[in-house]
Structure 1
Amino acid sequence: MTEATIEQLRIPETLDGELAHDFLQAVEVSRQVRVHTWGNDKLAYTAEELFAQCHDPFEWNVVLVARQDGSIVGRAGIVLPLDDNTELAYVTLDVLPTASGAGLGRKLLEAAETFVRGENRKIVMVETNHPAATLADAESEQIPASQGSGTLPLSSREARFAYSAGYELERVEQFSACALPLDAALVAKLSQQAAATHKSSYAVHQWMDTCPEEWEHDFVRLERDLVDGKPADDDDDGNGDAQEPWDVAQLRETEELSALTGRRTLVSAAEDLQTGALVGFTSISVLGKRQDVAFQDDTVVEPAHKGRDVGLLIKVANMEALMREFPQAGSIFTWNAPENSYMLTVNAQLGYVSAGMTGQWRKDFNAL
């Protein structure tokens, strides 16, 4: 067996033909890693999704691959924001289980760090994934996150890898899964609970893929609130930090990009009937090529309207929309900060169960 070499992958112009072979092989590496980690490929993006990400106008996507004996056995996906946070780089590492344990992950990470330094990026973010079964060692030394209340055990191979590479654990999120469809009696009970709390003070508006012009400015404002100061009522789809502050033009461009991948987005928003303004929304996304799996994206509720079960109201409505529009969806996933007790409670009421944790790790080259 020859020593693995690292090279930058050329992104093909299309997914057809011989020129797409290496790209598709790298996608398959990512799929196999997620099967090994979670026991299935439900969290693996399709080739179409990753291809579209490589053409995102708001970020530059670069892929490094590790090649051994002619085959790709590992990859490092590098995301470089282009509009804001241009000091940041996000790195995702995937190494086939059959090739792990030989230092290949460290070699890929060092190559990615060299690349982002060359692009004058000062901070690198890396994510690690931890199924619940790997977190059961109560005797292990815990690594505390610098933000929030989460910790990860040093006994975890992934946590130890990031820690030994000089990364600081910035935050931890609980990864949860919910089986679909929900029981009709449960949906009715939760809808009644929300209505009893808010006393018909809100109206729910729903759309798929494209925000109606009537609500576009409110929707953008709520997205800005999410970025400027992450509200307590939040979910995350696990694809990294929230979007940068939008304007309407960027919202429309993002919607068009999603449409090209076939991704569908369901939104339920709450209108305050006193002011006529949207005060919260929640969104769910379904991949174009994987409509059996859904992802709970952001949930935002303005601070002045918390404590009235607005989050529960719109999340139940959106789950109903998901089951109605995509009856083939058998599961939905979400990520939450461990200290976000309200949203974790709402999710538990809906039937979510914890499946593990993810860690967000940070290295600041300025501090070295």
Structure 2
Amino acid sequence: MTQTSVVIAPLAIPATLDAADPAAADFIAAGRLLNDHMLELWGNSDFHDTPETQLAGCRPTPVRRRVLLAARDGDEILGLATLGLPLADNTHSAYVNVVVAPHARRTGLGSRLYAAAEQAAAAGGRTTLLGETEHPAQPEQHTGAIAPKSGTGTIPADAAAAFAAAAGFTLEQVERISLLNLVDASVGREALDDAAAAAGSDYELVFWRGPCPDQLVDSYAVLRQKMSTDAPMAGLDLEEEHWDAARIREDERKARDMDAEVLVSAVRHRPTGHLAGHTLLMVFNANPAVAFQDDTLVLREHRGHRLGMLLKTANLIRLGRELPQAARIWTWNAAENDYMLAINDQLGFEPVGYSGEWQKLRPAR
């Protein structure tokens, strides 16, 4: 392989994975590269996605589309840059990820892929570029640490961090990556009853698996919108998202297409009938031993009643009952989110790594 033999060009998102579709084989190969990268990074297949799930995740929706750029030498795909482009809000931004096969690293290929991705983002008028690096907890392998501008937490000064910095990104925030082995979970009926007693009679739990009930969907949309502003964001240049019933239904359709089970526990404020908080767990049916903790939010005006503990405890109990194959849960929390980290610690989550949230601001044309 030589630099001049490697060509970077858009990778088509196929209509289907049928062998008759000329774009299917390349898409499957690119997905395999992503899966291999996560296996190399974490040493397990917890983040393995099937081609069907990857295709569903890449298809455009009213709120986001993806651009794929592949580096290839002949028929071999050596690297991939992905761009996530918001369409409904934050249309000034783009999410960038670059992956290079191990045998093609240290050749400048990653920098070429990133340059192509930045050029594509600029062509779409995107002035804020966002990226994430993940760092398993292996401090003995690194001699330095990098602190974000927010001042909370650190990530190791490893190759991924060096790549982001060399591309002109600034580390804005650190998130703690935590893992809960459910056999070790400090959760049960007693913990749920204690949290419910602290919440008081003004609050009641409601649950759904899959689509949100019609009578709650507008209230649920308020929670999802507030999640975009109330979670700690450090200095990330992101504005409030707009959520309504249509966006909720689109999000649910996407989860179905990706063959994911979604369990939501919510708390309803009895005096108003509105939802005061929610938490969400997702399990992909192709990998049923692994669950991912997504949003957890309690509206500011309802905090101080242990609703966060109530929500998460209730959903963990439901997970064990409804999806008993689930053996562990991954979650990400801002390092400065002391309240949520304390709840996770009580439930038995253990830190297993950190992610860096990076940002690059480009001048507007």
Asked if TM exceeds 0.5, the reply is yes
- Deviation readout 1:300-357 (Å, 9 max, x if unpaired): 1011222221011111111111111111112111000111111111111211111101
Q: Is 2:123 aligned against 1:118?
A: yes
Distance 2:139 2:108 in 1: 21
Superposition deviation, residue 181 in structure 1: 4.4
Aligned-partner SS, 1:40: coil
Q: Residue type matched to 2:169 in 1?
A: Y
- Deviation readout 1:195-219 (Å, 9 max, x if unpaired): 3422343211000111111211111
- Deviation readout 1:281-301 (Å, 9 max, x if unpaired): 001111232222111010010
Question: 1:203 and 1:77, CA in 2 relative to 1: closer, same or farther beyond 3 A?
Answer: same
Q: Is 2:190 aligned against 1:189?
A: yes
Superposition deviation, residue 242 in structure 1: 10
- Deviation readout 1:257-287 (Å, 9 max, x if unpaired): 2222221210000112333221000011112
User: Where does residue 307 of structure 2 map in the other structure?
Assistant: 310
User: Where does residue 175 of structure 1 map in the other structure?
Assistant: 177
Distance 2:215 2:333 in 1: 30
Distance 1:230 1:17 in 2: 43
Q: Which of 317, 321, 333 matches 2:318?
A: 321
Q: Residue type matched to 2:167 in 1?
A: A
Distance 1:22 1:243 in 2: 36
8 Å CA contact retained: 1:135, 1:152: no
Q: Residue type matched to 1:192 in 2?
A: D
Q: Residue type matched to 1:119 in 2?
A: G
8 Å CA contact retained: 1:95, 1:105: yes
8 Å CA contact retained: 2:179, 2:349: yes
Q: Residue type matched to 1:108 in 2?
A: L
8 Å CA contact retained: 1:173, 1:338: yes
Aligned-partner SS, 2:325: coil
Distance 1:242 1:207 in 2: 29
Distance 2:123 2:102 in 1: 30
Query: 5+ unaligned residues in a row in structure 1: which ranges?
Result: 233-240
Q: Is 2:296 aligned against 1:299?
A: yes
Matches within 5 A, 1:1-368: 1-3=1-3, 4-18=6-20, 19=22, 20-57=24-61, 58-134=63-139, 137=142, 140=144, 142-147=145-150, 149-153=152-156, 155-181=157-183, 186-230=187-231, 244-366=241-363
Question: 1:179 and 1:218, CA in 2 relative to 1: closer, same or farther beyond 3 A?
Answer: same
Aligned-partner SS, 1:76: strand
Give TM-score, length-normalised by structure 1.
0.90
Distance 1:135 1:356 in 2: 13
How many equivalent residue pairs?
A: 356
Question: 1:94 and 1:121, CA in 2 relative to 1: closer, same or farther beyond 3 A?
Answer: same
Aligned-partner SS, 1:363: strand
8 Å CA contact retained: 1:59, 1:79: yes
Question: 1:242 and 1:266, CA in 2 relative to 1: closer, same or farther beyond 3 A?
Answer: farther
Superposition deviation, residue 182 in structure 1: 5.4
Q: Which moved more, 1:269-278 or 1:161-170?
A: 269-278
8 Å CA contact retained: 1:91, 1:125: yes
Q: Residue type matched to 1:81 in 2?
A: P
Superposition deviation, residue 220 in structure 1: 0.9
Question: 1:134 and 1:16, CA in 2 relative to 1: closer, same or farther beyond 3 A?
Answer: farther
Distance 2:45 2:202 in 1: 42
- Deviation readout 1:113-169 (Å, 9 max, x if unpaired): 1111122211111111111104774x52x433234623323x311111111211111
Aligned-partner SS, 2:363: helix
8 Å CA contact retained: 1:203, 1:270: yes
8 Å CA contact retained: 1:2, 1:69: no
Q: Residue type matched to 2:48 in 1?
A: A
Aligned-partner SS, 2:15: coil
Question: 1:350 and 1:91, CA in 2 relative to 1: closer, same or farther beyond 3 A?
Answer: same
Question: 1:103 and 1:189, CA in 2 relative to 1: closer, same or farther beyond 3 A?
Answer: farther
Superposition deviation, residue 69 in structure 1: 4.6
Aligned-partner SS, 1:56: coil
- Deviation readout 1:174-205 (Å, 9 max, x if unpaired): 1111112456x741332133134223432110
Query: 5+ unaligned residues in a row in structure 2: which ranges?
Result: none
- Give the % identical residues: 38
Question: 1:266 and 1:340, CA in 2 relative to 1: closer, same or farther beyond 3 A?
Answer: same
Distance 1:291 1:226 in 2: 26
